[in-house]
Structure 1
Amino acid sequence: MLIFRAFSALLSYPGEEMRRALPEIAGVIGASPLVAAREREELARLIGEIGQGDLLAAEERYVDLFDRGRALSLHLFEHLHGDGRDRGAAMVELKELYAAAGFELTASELPDYLPVVLEYLSLRDMEEARELLADCSAILASICRSLLARQSRYAAVLQALLVIAGEKPLDAGKVAPVRERHDALDRDWVEQPAFADAAGDRPAV
């Protein structure tokens, strides 16, 4: 199912090759009966945003959004397990699911990375796709809510996935916007100092 491959591409790092494929991605989305009219319009706006301006600006927007905090992480199990031991076990189970279907990861990404999951679903039937998306719908909704709070057009991809999973899209009007400092990481990602002085005080930074 090409629609999941299109969604995977939209959530991936917007390099030069990806941006060249945007017209093709737009065509797949426009022709898919799985995408409702409202989501299709929002996805078209996202595609326009990714393609506008110079390449470096698009890459910086992506990194600033997805690589600065746990709330917007595209690694699904991080939302459930953080960096705990259970996350590793869950990823092993997901890799076994891929292997049982005859697929082996060739990229450097972890198996719970949402674009990887969507790439896998593009090779499976709709029943399995809907079942897997429904299983992680709470995580998808959480990421979507964080994107809506930041007024990001990337929320359109998560909204479309929720609809395919059989869930209602989130009401953007009920999500309070947030304004974050661009030089601040989520508190969950701020590492504690590795050493303290003899008195137990943390070193000044």
Structure 2
Amino acid sequence: MPSDAVLYQAAALCLTYPDDDFVARLPLLREAAPQLREFSDYAAATPPCELAEHYVRVFGLGHRHGLYLSRWNNGCIGRRGKSLDRFEDVYREHGLEFSCEELPDFLPAVLECTARTGSTELLTEHRDALEGLRSRLTEFGTPYASVLDAVCATLPTA
């Protein structure tokens, strides 16, 4: 398991819809991943309904902050097939079966895979997408940008 495994798992939690489970885990997240303190402080100080509304404003359909990594390079789903297959192949290579309700390139799923396997290959392969998302989140002025800052800081530079 990589030294950043806890960070990747915590980042995956931060980037999923903030439901009751997220709120319940927030104290543990704040303690386990100090690199995410900016976001976790924001989340702890924000009422759950406002946090959920903010998530939808940032990541909802039609917004420019998509959490699907292959979309950054390939656009619509029709052209993403090979890329999506690549994600599933990497999961299988590491003995993981992708059974999420989301597509396999959903960033929280990729982060969880990285935490479990120690392999940063999918994150590294999609570094440009991560940087693009990080940049747009920063421009948007959302605390979610700090989560991408922390993840990108763990990856080798191009």
TM-score by length of 2: 0.89
- Aligned structure 1 segments of 4 or more residues deviating by more than 6 angstroms: none
Correspondence for 1:191: none
The one-letter code of the counterpart of 1:16 is D
CA-CA distance at 1:53 after TM superposition: 3.5
My pick for the range that moved more, 144-153 or 61-70, is 61-70
Q: How far apart in 1 are the matches of 2:79 and 2:61?
A: 23
Correspondence for 2:90: 97
CA-CA distance at 1:49 after TM superposition: 1.7
Asked whether 1:49 is paired with 2:42, we answer yes
TM-score by length of 1: 0.70
User: What does residue range 1-205 of structure 1 map to in structure 2 within 5 Å?
Assistant: 1-30=5-34, 40=35, 43-125=36-118, 128-129=119-120, 131-167=121-157
Unaligned runs of 5+ in 2: none
The one-letter code of the counterpart of 1:20 is A
CA-CA distance at 1:164 after TM superposition: 0.7
CA-CA distance at 1:54 after TM superposition: 2.7
Q: How far apart in 1 are the matches of 2:128 and 2:57?
A: 24
CA-CA distance at 1:134 after TM superposition: 2.2
Q: How far apart in 1 are the matches of 2:15 and 2:77?
A: 25
Unaligned runs of 5+ in 1: 31-39, 169-205
Q: Which has the larger radius of gyration?
A: 1
The two structures, once aligned, show a CA RMSD in angstroms of: 1.7
Percent identity, aligned pairs only? Answer: 25
CA-CA distance at 1:8 after TM superposition: 0.3
Which structure has more relative contact order (CA 8 Å, sep 6+)? It is 2
Deviations 1:48-83 (A, max 9, x none): 222234322111110011114352000011111111
Report the secondary structure of 2:116's partner residue. coil
Contact 2:59 2:66 in 1 (8 A): yes
The structure that is helix-richer by fraction is: 2
Report the secondary structure of 1:4's partner residue. helix
CA-CA distance at 1:85 after TM superposition: 2.7
Q: How far apart in 2 are the matches of 1:89 and 1:70?
A: 24
